[in-house]
Amino acid sequence: MGKKISWIKCISAILCAEAVCIASSFLSKLMPQGRLGDNLYEQLVYLTYLFLMAIGLISILCLFKRKDVLFSRPKGSFITGCSTGIILISYATYMLITNLLNGLKDHGTPSMSPLFMFLYIIGLFMGAGIGEEFIFRGIFMNFIRSAAGNDTRKGLIIGMAVSSIFFGLLHLTNLKGNPDVAGTIGQVIYAIGIGFYLAAIYARTKNIWFNILLHFYVDISALLKTLFINSDVSISEVIGGDPLQVILRSVLICVAFGGLGLFIIRKSKMPELT
């Protein structure tokens, strides 16, 4: 755990992360299209954006003297991560098997080409895995926790809660050009709970790389159908039900995973969390 820092330094780090995301998006769009097809060009622009963002976020952690976020992998942290994250791992495994079997049954083989499948999986790993975990657990959670109380339970919960709320709100960007309003709102809601759970796992393991792998596994499990139909899957399809059911189920997921997160960081575990 890093030393206590000022709120000015905390906010500066977060603003730098935001600036990196904006600059990476701008620079990636400067890439010439040449003879590339529109779909391939868009995929490569997106991957370039993610690569630049990852480099920028790593630089911020180094600049603000938090290299420990990148290199701290305590002994047994992967085992701890698997034990504390077993509910999410089990849920993702169920989703993976179900979506795979349904995809094979309904479509036979993936309709997405091997090249685009590779690019899609890499993009999901770098975006949902590296990008979101570096921003919300690596920077938001760590810096807010350090400013709010460092080794106190209060500081930990504040860091987890604020980072999870912003993690959920990030998904509001999916409303752009998306008719699935209920699904997107539901995604915002359940992402807050799952984000809190991921934050709790990170607090116990102190291993950002486990979080990256777990986050990627959850997302690829939920979105596996994309590989078979070669188009985006709506969140309402993933959750299931009419708009009201989507919202209600999202609230239940949020509450359930939020509760699990609090259980993981219960007072008796505080010695492991400092």
Low-confidence ranges of the chain (pLDDT < 50): none
Q: Which of 44, 84, 63, 46 is nearest to 207 (CA)?
A: 84
Q: Is residue 121 assigned to a domain?
A: yes
Question: How many Å apart are CA 43 and CA 40, to the nearest integer?
Answer: 5
Q: Is residue 54 assigned to a domain?
A: no
Identify whether the C-beta of residue 163 lies closer than 8 Å to the C-beta of residue 199.
yes
CA neighbours within 13 Å on the CB side: how many for 49?
18
pLDDT of residue 1: 55
DSSP secondary structure string, 169-232?
HHGGGGGTT-S-HHHHHHHHHHHHHHHHHHHHHHHHH--HHHHHHHHHHHHHHHTTHHHHHSSP
pLDDT of residue 2: 57
Domain that holds residue 230: 74-273
Q: Is residue 27 assigned to a domain?
A: no
Would you state the structure tokens that stand for residue 86, as one six-digit string? 């077993």
pLDDT of residue 242: 85
* Residues 159-180: tens digit of each pLDDT: 999 999 999 999 998 888 788 8
pLDDT of residue 240: 80
Q: Is residue 242 assigned to a domain?
A: yes
Question: How many Å apart are CA 260 and CA 191, to the nearest integer?
Answer: 14
Q: Is residue 50 assigned to a domain?
A: no
Question: How many Å apart are CA 85 and CA 215, to the nearest integer?
Answer: 11
- Type of residue at 213: L
Question: How many Å apart are CA 243 and CA 254, to the nearest integer?
Answer: 17
Strands (E), 6-122: none
Dihedral-angle region of residue 230 (phi above 0 means left; psi in -120 to 50 means alpha; beta otherwise): left
* Residues 211-253: tens digit of each pLDDT: 999 999 999 998 898 898 888 778 888 888 788 999 999 999 9
Q: How many structural domains compose the chain?
A: 1
Q: Is residue 119 assigned to a domain?
A: yes
Q: Which of 46, 54, 22 is nearest to 119 (CA)?
A: 46
Q: Is residue 6 assigned to a domain?
A: no
pTM metric for this prediction:
0.93
Q: What separation in angstroms does the CA of 94 have from each of 14, 41, 55, 84, 222?
A: 35, 34, 34, 17, 10
Q: Is residue 35 assigned to a domain?
A: no
- Type of residue at 167: F
Identify whether the C-beta of residue 236 lies closer than 8 Å to the C-beta of residue 246.
yes
Dihedral-angle region of residue 34 (phi above 0 means left; psi in -120 to 50 means alpha; beta otherwise): left
